[in-house]
């Protein structure tokens, strides 16, 4: 741990950093899965989904940066390599054979749901550790995740 004048105890910072690094792995994994969908989506709604997946990927990259910077501001080391993310991520592996827009939507909506749930769990855990700033960060991530989950699910809710 690096020294910092942040007024959280070292024990609190260590515990929060563990949570942040776990969620960092999930975020890196999810961003790569969304990009996988972006590159490989096919079908009649190609351009709309291609652009939506790219937007979600961009949002995920911003979330990754926010999580990593919070880790380092607390005196920790952001453990954000692909190898670490692959080992730690709680998300299911993305099927590489998916091409249809609907299949990507179904799979990504499930993945975003899992990611959102883990963000909400992190809100509670970091609040219990008395780190309101990190809890607020996870609240922001949760809110953004729910918004993009809605965007994905809206494509699946057609009642023609």
> Mean per-residue pLDDT for 141-154?
97
Half-sphere exposure of 134 (CA within 13 A, CB side): 34
pLDDT of residue 135: 98
CB within 8 Å of 154: residues ≥ 6 apart:
none
pTM for the full model? 0.95
In the predicted structure, residue 141 carries a pLDDT above the cut 90? yes
Of the candidates 112, 95, 90, the residue with the CA atom closest to the CA atom of residue 156: 112
pLDDT at position 111: 97
Work out the average pLDDT over 74-85.
97
Q: Is it true that domain 10-156 has CATH number 1.20.1260.10?
A: yes
Reported as a pLDDT band with limits 50, 70 and 90, residue 160 is low
Arithmetic mean of pLDDT, 55-62: 98
Q: Are the CB atoms for 51 and 37 separated by under 8 Å?
A: no
Is the pLDDT at 76 greater than 70, yes or no?
yes
**Average of per-residue pLDDT values in the chain:** 96
Residue-range domain boundaries for the chain: 10-156
Rounded Cα gap, residues 86 and 4, in angstroms: 30
Cβ contact 148:112 at 8 Å? yes
* Closest-CA residue to 98 (of 63, 147, 49): 49
Interval 5-18: pLDDT, tens: 999 999 999 999 99
Q: 67 phi and psi, to 5 degrees?
A: -65, -50
What percentage of the chain has pLDDT greater than the value 70? Answer: 99
According to the model, what pLDDT value does residue 158 have?
74
């Amino acid at each position: 741990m690096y020294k910092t004048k942040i007024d959280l105890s070292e024990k609190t910072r260590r515990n929060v950093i563990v949570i942040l690094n776990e969620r960092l792995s999930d975020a890196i994994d999810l961003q790569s899965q969304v990009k996988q969908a972006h590159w490989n989506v096919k079908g009649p709604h190609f351009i709309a989904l291609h652009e939506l997946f790219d937007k979600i990927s961009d949002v995920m990259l911003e979330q990754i940066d926010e999580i990593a910077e919070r880790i380092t501001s607390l005196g920790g080391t952001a453990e954000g390599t692909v190898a670490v993310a692959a080992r730690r991520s709680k998300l299911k592996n993305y099927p590489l054979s998916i091409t249809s827009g609907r299949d990507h939507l179904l799979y990504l909506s499930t993945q975003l749901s899992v990611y959102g749930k883990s963000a909400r769990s992190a809100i509670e855990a970091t609040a219990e550790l008395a780190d309101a700033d990190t809890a607020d960060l996870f609240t922001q991530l949760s809110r953004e995740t729910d918004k993009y989950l809605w965007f994905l699910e809206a494509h699946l809710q057609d009642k023609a």
